[in-house]
A and B are shown apart, each in its own frame.
Chain A
């Protein structure tokens, strides 16, 4: 068995097709008619661009516009004025087009490969791709036509270039194995988009495998089994069936409403950390965004992002979601999330300290900038504001007063925003659970953050192995807290969501249905699984399960009972 890096999960069983690299060798010639040689080079570049545009068009259909855009980047490489200028100079000096172009490409491949960051290193692959494309044209060699690969093919290559992947017919290719590359390689990203199992950095695959060999690939684990025996073949065929079966089962829930077995409809939205992830949420069939963490905008920066910068990002997400809900959480820094330029003091006890809403209410200008940016973005979609780490009513009142102040400001400036924008809070502290009824009177919605709520209720750090046994959302204390938050929201008639990990936990879901949660906010890849899970429960069955679960005195009893119900 060969071991590589699993970069695109799934199991593939098929026949090997080796993508041999063409030997792009030639004998360098001395050129006398340099004008004709330059024209030959130019024609090759033009043809290359034409081909690339076609490939990008095909890729747009199979993998989306963003992937196609990267392909088009190859055109800007080959048409680079510096590159072309230098190639022309070399041709003027009497070198043939092949040698001139190769010299310049190799120079950049060498520079990019030597860079100390991965992103630049990956660009070497792009230049290599461009180099072989143009050289093939100059030498009159036709490139491998992957579009002709028969069904059940496992592609094996030293390196799979984006232009090769652009030619793949996804119904015929069941796996991809390469000798180089890793999870961040462009071809790895494409493999995931196309849902083709892929293993990279599988050393020696090109010498170990022969065309037509049977091969098993496990893109999750990174395993490659060449010429498997019958037992292995049977085992993996069964595993693949099971995976495909599960996937098919889940796919039935795509574009369906999220509803319980007796027809109550719930909102199933996603947690995201970047505006681009809003597209991912939609791709996985999320019904909007229940938590947009804004910390990313402040990290990897040297200073506080301006209102304009923030507005652009929030607007991007709002527009992408086309009227679907987008709940933006205001800055939640401090605790374990430091931002160097804010100059936060080191604290004895950061989780009990100066963080999130506490920091923002003390640093008004920074907070106002963010709120103004969110308000402005609200003109472009269904945007709500959410304050993190609320522990008392004063914080909600102060925050909302600021929102009103900024609304008045925008109104007087004639800037558009949503007059009816909702302002809600995260209920993630023990204090907020205990006074949930008081907070409900001041808030448009609740979102339960179970990760912090569990930690603060149990006074236990999940990262500390000596006390992490206490950290469980199934502790009776945490369950009572969740129940009373949901009930407080319901009796006040405001929606209550959950954006912690517990919202996607099959053991927790019946309890949440019984308590009356209205919105589940989960990671994008969990959407279909959670929708399926919700569909299996009626209110009656969920009530029964919840009553029983809440009758136990220990976490272990709760766990054992719920585990026996959900398998």
Chain B
């Protein structure tokens, strides 16, 4: 299992488009991908879960990947968040 603590940088947070782009990207990996935020865990391959988590600009979250290709998944996911989903 690998993980990284990140801060959501883009103004709108995980709204519809970023959530959908992020979950699609994570869906490509065989490992489990979860986001820990405010004491809850969310399935990061699910757009709906990500929206439900209400992660906003400045929210501190932990991205956790566990299983096959966990390093690749973590690298791509962390980069997407750090880049603010290209927004």
Name the one of B11, B46, B49, B52 contacting A301, with C-beta atoms under 8 angstroms.
B11
- Assess whether A73 is in contact with B43, with CB atoms less than 8 Å apart: no
Q: Is A83 an interface residue (CB 8 A)?
A: yes
Asked whether A117 and B56 contact (CB < 8 A) given A76-B47, A123-B16, A300-B11, the answer is yes
Say yes or no: is B61 at the interface (Cβ < 8 Å to chain A).
no
User: Which A residue sits closest to B20, measured CB to CB?
Assistant: A76
Contact flags B16-50 to A (C-beta < 8 A → 1, else 0): 11001001100100000000000000010111110
In the complex, B51 has a CB within 8 A of chain A: yes
Cβ distance A66 to chain B, nearest Cβ, rounded Å:
10
B48 with A83: CB separation less than 8 A:
yes
**Is A415 at the interface (CB under 8 A from chain B)?**
no
Chain B CB within 8 A of A119 CB: yes
Write the chain A residue with the least CB distance to B19: A76
User: Are A302 and B7 in contact, with the CB atoms below 8 A?
Assistant: yes
- B54 lies within 8 A of A80 (CB): no
A123 to B16, CA, bound (A): 8
Interface size class of B (residues with CB under 8 A): 20 to 34
Pairwise interchain contact A112-B52, C-beta atoms closer than 8 A:
yes
Determine the chain A residues whose CB is within 8 A of the CB of B57 once the complex forms: 300-302
In the docked arrangement, what's the CA distance between A81 and B26, Å?
11
Q: Is the CB of B54 within 8 A of A301?
A: no
Q: Which residues of A contact B69 (CB under 8 A)?
A: none
Q: Are A108 and B52 in contact (CB under 8 A)?
A: yes
Q: Is A552 positioned at the interface, with any CB of B under 8 Å from its CB?
A: no
CA distance A309 to B11 in the complex (A): 12
> Which residues in A have their C-beta under 8 angstroms from that of B58?
302
Chain B proximity of A83: nearest CB distance (Å): 6
CB distance from A186 to the nearest CB of B (A): 10
Contact A302 B9 (CB under 8 A): yes
- Is A120 part of the binding interface, using a Cβ–Cβ cutoff of 8 Å? yes
- Bound: A117/B57 CA distance, A: 12
Whether B48 and A82, one on each chain, are in contact in the complex, defined by CB atoms closer than 8 angstroms, is yes
- CB-CB < 8 A to B17: which residues of A? 69, 73
Closest A residue to B21 by beta carbon equals A76
The reply to whether B20 and A120 contact each other, CB–CB distance below 8 Å, is no
Q: Are A312 and B48 in contact (CB under 8 A)?
A: no
CA distance A175 to B58 in the complex (A): 41
Instruction: Return the CB mask of A103-124 against B: 1 if under 8 Å, else 0.
Output: 0000010011001110110010
A127 contacts across to B, CB distance below 8 A: 48
Does A81 contact B16, Cβ atoms closer than 8 Å? no
Report yes or no: A80 in contact with B15, Cβ–Cβ below 8 A. no
Contacts of B16 on A, CB cut-off 8 Å?
Answer: 70, 73, 123, 126
Task: Report the bound CA distance from A26 to B12 in whole Å.
Answer: 39
CB of B24, distance to nearest CB on chain A (Å) = 7
Which residue from chain A places its CB closest to the CB of B15 in the assembled complex? A119
Q: Hey, what's the 0/1 contact readout for B54-87 against A, CB within 8 Å counting as 1?
A: 1011100000000000000000000000001010
The answer to whether A81 and B27 touch (CB under 8 A), given A76-B47, A309-B84, is yes
**Cβ-based interface call for A77 (8 A):** yes
Query: What residues of B have a CB within 8 angstroms of the CB of A70 in the complex?
Result: 16
Contact: A120 with B24, CB < 8 Å? no
Q: Report the Cα distance A108→B52, complex, angstroms.
A: 7
CB of B38, distance to nearest CB on chain A (Å):
13
For B12, list chain A residues within 8 Å (CB): 119
A449 to chain B, nearest CB (A): 26
Q: A119-B12, A301-B57 are in contact. Are A73 and B48 (CB under 8 A)?
A: no
Q: Are B24 and A112 in contact (CB under 8 A)?
A: no
Cβ 8 A contact of A108, one of B20, B27, B48? B48
| Docked CA distance A119–B51 (Å) | 10
Query: From residue A189, how far is it (CB to closest CB) to chain B in Å?
Result: 13
Q: Which residues of B contact A69 (CB under 8 A)?
A: 17
Q: How far is the CA of A70 from the CA of B16 in the complex (A)?
A: 8
Query: A546: shortest Cβ distance to chain B, in Å?
Result: 44
**A116 contact set on B, CB distance < 8 A:** 54
Inter-chain contact B54/A120, CB cutoff 8 Å = yes
Question: Do the beta carbons of B9 and A123 come within 8 Å of each other?
Answer: no
Residue from the set A70, A116, A301 with the largest chain B CB neighbour count within 10 Å: A301
Known contacts A119-B12, A302-B58, A312-B86; A81 and B51 CB within 8 A of each other? no
Residues on the A chain within 8 Å of B9, using CB:
301-302
Selected from B7, B23, B51, B84, the residue in CB contact (under 8 A) with A112 is B51
Q: Are A117 and B54 in contact (CB under 8 A)?
A: yes
B-side contacts of A117, CB under 8 Å: 54, 56
Q: Establish whether residues B20 and A81, one from each chain, have CB atoms under 8 Å apart when the complex forms.
A: no
Residues of A within 8 A of B23 (CB): 76, 80-81
**A residues in contact (CB < 8 Å) with B:** 69-70, 73, 76-77, 80-83, 108, 111-112, 115-117, 119-120, 123, 126-127, 300-302, 309, 312
A sample of 25 cross-chain residue pairs with beta-carbon separation below 8 angstroms, ordered by A number, consists of A70-B16, A73-B16, A73-B17, A73-B20, A76-B24, A80-B23, A81-B46, A82-B49, A108-B48, A111-B52, A115-B52, A115-B54, A116-B54, A119-B12, A119-B15, A120-B51, A120-B52, A120-B54, A123-B51, A126-B16, A127-B48, A300-B11, A300-B57, A302-B9, A302-B57
Given A69-B17, A77-B48, 20 additional A-B pairs, CB 8 A: A73-B16, A73-B20, A80-B23, A81-B27, A81-B43, A81-B45, A81-B46, A82-B45, A82-B48, A83-B46, A83-B48, A108-B52, A112-B51, A115-B54, A116-B54, A117-B54, A119-B12, A120-B51, A300-B11, A302-B58
Q: Please report B residues at the A interface, Cβ cutoff 8 Å.
A: 7, 9, 11-12, 15-17, 20, 23-24, 27, 43, 45-49, 51-52, 54, 56-58, 84, 86
Pairs of residues from A and B, 4 with the lowest C-beta to C-beta distance, nearest first: A82-B46, A300-B11, A76-B20, A111-B52
